Structure 1
Amino acid sequence: MDYITYQSRLSYIVELLEKEAVVTPVGMSEKYECSTKTINRMIAHLRESGYNIKWCRKRKSYCLSV
């Protein structure tokens, strides 16, 4: 995956998190046709970039924490 594609996917994940849409590793991996491990690495990258992303047990998806 090239840098531009990676950055656009990261931006899309952030957009989904801000809209409080359901963001699961399985769902995103199916959408992007990649592994769940790749999605988890992308989430880790966003966390390192300063986003406070948590796993919501109730919704069973990632969400932004305040």
Structure 2
Amino acid sequence: MDFLSYEKRLNYVLELIEKGRFGSMEAAARRFDCSSRTVKRMINILREKGHDIRYDRRKKKYFIEKDE
């Protein structure tokens, strides 16, 4: 996979999380045809880029912490 398509995937993951439509790691892995570990790495890369991505255990969802 080249850099541009990986960046598009990262942006898509970020968009899904922002809209609250990011399901489980397994569902995202099936969507991207990769492993759930790769999806986890993508989320960590987004965190390194400065996005405050959190996981809510009760809702079993990723979300972005908004500054108030």
- Deviation, 1:56, is 1.1
Please name the residue that 2:40 is paired with.
40
- Structure number with bigger Rg: 2
> What is the alpha-carbon root mean square deviation over aligned residues?
1.1
- Deviation, 1:24, is 2.2
TM-score, normalised via structure 1 length: 0.89
Where in structure 1 do 4 or more consecutive aligned residues deviate above 6 Å? none
- Identity rate of aligned residues, in percent? 36
- The aligned length equals 66
Query: 5+ unaligned residues in a row in structure 1: which ranges?
Result: none
Query: 5+ unaligned residues in a row in structure 2: which ranges?
Result: none
Please name the residue that 1:50 is paired with.
50
TM-score, normalised via structure 2 length: 0.87
